[in-house]
Amino acid sequence: MTRPLLFALILAGSAAVPAATQQTPADAEKINQVIVYGDDKCEASSADEIVVCNRLPESERYRVPPMLRGNPLDPRNEAWANKVVALERVGRFGTDSCSPTGLGGFTGCTQALVAGARAEQRAADKTDWQAMIADERAKRLAGIDAAAAEVEAAVVAEERALAERQKAAEELERQANGEAPASPSPDEADAGELPVPPQQ
């Protein structure tokens, strides 16, 4: 493969990546994760955005983040899990070992970096954003259900009032024409209360 062709392929691949990453669904819900301190107000969620607030005490407002406090190179700050992992890697060589020894020893370094970054992220952030987002989503769905029930009750009440008004108008029209009052339909007769038999 010639160099110009290889260079063209690399440019085409790098140009295609941003276009693929920019494609997001139009109806995807927005989630805003906010950290508030003390008695600060947490913004309410809107129709197209879920706002989740993590409240910290007022004393933490201007402090250095906990993960940056102290000396990170102090051996006392190293977790035992990291020491165990380091001991497990002693004597490992070859493919996927991320070591300068053995055939393919240089491979596996990316996986080690990714695993270390994920472990640091889990250890640094104790806030369960996923659970908070799920709670906020459940509140929103409960509000939607309550609003739908209110609208349905209002529509049913309006339909009943309209039926009663139409019935009263028909009755007035019959009285004006001198006709006998209409007998109740079987459904209306069945809808009334049943007579109670006398107790002996």
Give residue limits of the domains in the chain. Answer: 78-127
What's the pTM value of the predicted model, to 2 decimals? 0.32
Mean pLDDT of 95-118: 82
- pLDDT tens, position by position, 34-90: 989 998 998 888 888 889 998 989 988 888 877 777 777 777 777 787 777 766 666
Name, in order, each residue with C-beta under 8 angstroms of 2's C-beta and a sequence gap of 6 or more.
none
Tell me how far CA of residue 190 lies from CA of 1, 156, 185, 187, 194, in angstroms.
Answer: 89, 20, 9, 5, 8
Residue 164 and residue 184: Cα distance in Å, rounded?
13
Segment (H or E) for 154:
helix 129-177
Asked if residues 115 and 89 have their Cβ atoms less than 8 Å apart, the reply is no
Distance CA 16, CA 22 (A): 10
pLDDT score recorded for residue 37: 92
Identify the residue with better confidence: 190 or 70: 70
Name the more confident of 88 and 157.
157
Nearest to 54 by CA among 162, 126, 139: 126
Which pair of structure tokens corresponds to residue 167? 């019935």
Whether the CB-CB separation of 56 and 35 falls below 8 Å is answered with: yes
Q: What is the pLDDT of residue 161?
A: 92
Checking if the pLDDT of 131 tops 70, the result is yes
pLDDT band at 19 (very low <50, low <70, confident <90, very high): very low
Q: How many H helices and E strands in the chain?
A: 5, 2
Q: What's the confidence (pLDDT) of residue 118? A: 87
Closest residue by Cα to residue 33 from 120, 130, 121, 122: 130
The predicted pLDDT at position 20 comes to 45
Calculate the CA 28 to chain-centre distance: 10
Range among 21-30, 50-59, 111-120, 143-152 rated most confident: 50-59
d(CA 7, CA 89): 39
| pLDDT at residue 162 tops 50 | yes
Give 21's contacts (C-beta < 8 A, 6+ positions apart). Answer: none
